[in-house]
A and B are shown apart, each in its own frame.
Chain A
Amino acid sequence: MKLYLVLLIVCFSACKQKDVAKVKAEPITKTEESKIEAIDLTVYNFNELEPLLNIKDDKIYVINFWATWCAPCIKELPYFETLNKEYKSKNVEVILVSLDFPKQYDTKLKPFIVKHKLESKIVVLDDVDSNTWIPKVDKDWSGAIPTTIIYNKNKRAFYEKSFDLEELKIELNKFLN
């Protein structure tokens, strides 16, 4: 039993170390540093964000609520980036709404944006009164992230779930046809 425990601890700390190693393996370069400094984050409260959720032009909007601390969000982020690239010509715009904590904008969010070369439009929502604004995003939203909205001027779909790329394309295609 003791041995088992020790093994578990070793395994656990090894895993931890691996994570640290992963981060350390990619030090921030000088160019990245200047890029991070150059980022001018758009930080909104909900009243400022709300218009972005209700644009009535000819585009299809894919809105993803995420944060750097949300593991399933990070996992699906590349799929949203892919959509943004592949469907730009089809009038699709991806907007990534970050829910990162203000004190981590400089230490986590900006470095993440640079490291992962995010190209989609990014806005940051800083509004603590979530009980007021969550139901305005969608009446069915419990507040868990990741959460995604796809909409155009005629219809709207809400997903409180994680996506893989294929699923995301299937849902988007419902708006394209």
Chain B
Amino acid sequence: MKKVVKLMLLVAVVFGAWSFTTTDKLMDNGYKIGDVVADFKLENIDGKMVSMADFKEAKGFIITFTCNTCPYAVAYEDRVEALNKMYASKGYPVIAIMPNNVEVKPGDNMEAMQERAKEKGFTFPYLMDKGQLVYPKFGATKTPHMYVVEKTKKGNVVKYIGAIDDNYQDADAVKNKYVEAAVNALLKGQEVEVKETKAIGCSIKV
């Protein structure tokens, strides 16, 4: 009998520890500031595969997880395009990745992505996270979700995570342009001041 109790206790302890580690893991998932980002190879709307390694001249990247169907992502489309126009030539091109499951959100499928990019005249790659394997590595939870990475000797290092700016409703009323500030600092060889921000977004559809 004692043995049974002991065994049950053991099971409880092991199970308890296991459940703790899973939650911890869930909380700690994804890249933090200072982490090196693994490169990806994803299909662009033009059918070509795109990796960060393809951009030989780049000093870094403005990576955004975005989609067609989230109003917050849509509200920021023009501002993402503006970022690419402003920073691609300076060495920080935008790479947009669509992380949603297209079975759940057909409005985010490849055709819809192509259509949207054409409508809006996107000049940056708009990649499909096919199989949804890339966004979990980043720890992206929503669209839009931005990462600024700097190309260094050890790889592409995360320097900023969060929102583009502090006003999704009105681009003219923005007070803090977080991504711009981060990239500007990196271009000057300075430390990024605001490294992480929070913003409302649409949960990534799995």
The answer on a CB contact under 8 Å between B106 and A131 is no
The answer on a CB contact under 8 Å between A128 and B167 is yes
**Chain B residues positioned under 8 Å from A145 (CB to CB):** 200-203
Answer yes or no: B173 CB below 8 A from chain A CBs.
yes
Given contact pairs A12-B106, A15-B106, A128 touches B201 in the complex (Cβ within 8 A): no
User: Most A CB atoms within 10 A — which of B112, B166, B202?
Assistant: B202
Number of interface residues of A (CB under 8 A): 27
Q: Which of A21-29, A51-59, A134-142 contacts B (4 or more CB under 8 A)?
A: A134-142
The answer on a CB contact under 8 Å between A144 and B168 is no
**Chain A residues positioned under 8 Å from B168 (CB to CB):** 128, 130
Answer yes or no: A99 CB below 8 A from chain B CBs.
yes
Per the 8 Å Cβ criterion, residues 15-72 of A in contact with B are: 15, 67, 69-72
The answer on a CB contact under 8 Å between A141 and B198 is yes
For A96-135 the 0/1 string (1 means CB < 8 A from B) is 0001011000000000000000000000000011110011
Answer yes or no: B170 CB below 8 A from chain A CBs.
yes
Answer yes or no: B19 CB below 8 A from chain A CBs.
no
A131 interface neighbour in B27, B109, B199, B203, Cβ under 8 Å: B199
Which residue of chain A has its CB nearest to the CB of B27? A140
Answer yes or no: B191 CB below 8 A from chain A CBs.
no
The answer on a CB contact under 8 Å between B203 and A146 is yes
Taking the nearest CB of chain A, how far is it from the CB of B13, in angstroms?
Answer: 21
**Chain A residues positioned under 8 Å from B170 (CB to CB):** 128
**Chain B residues positioned under 8 Å from A8 (CB to CB):** 111
Given contact pairs A12-B111, A69-B71, A130-B163, A102 touches B169 in the complex (Cβ within 8 A): yes
Which residue of chain A has its CB nearest to the CB of B178? A131
The answer on a CB contact under 8 Å between B202 and A134 is no
Complex-state Cα separation, A5 to B200, whole angstroms: 36
Between A and B, 8 residue pairs with Cβ closer than 8 Å are: A15-B106, A67-B71, A71-B205, A128-B166, A135-B198, A143-B201, A144-B200, A160-B203
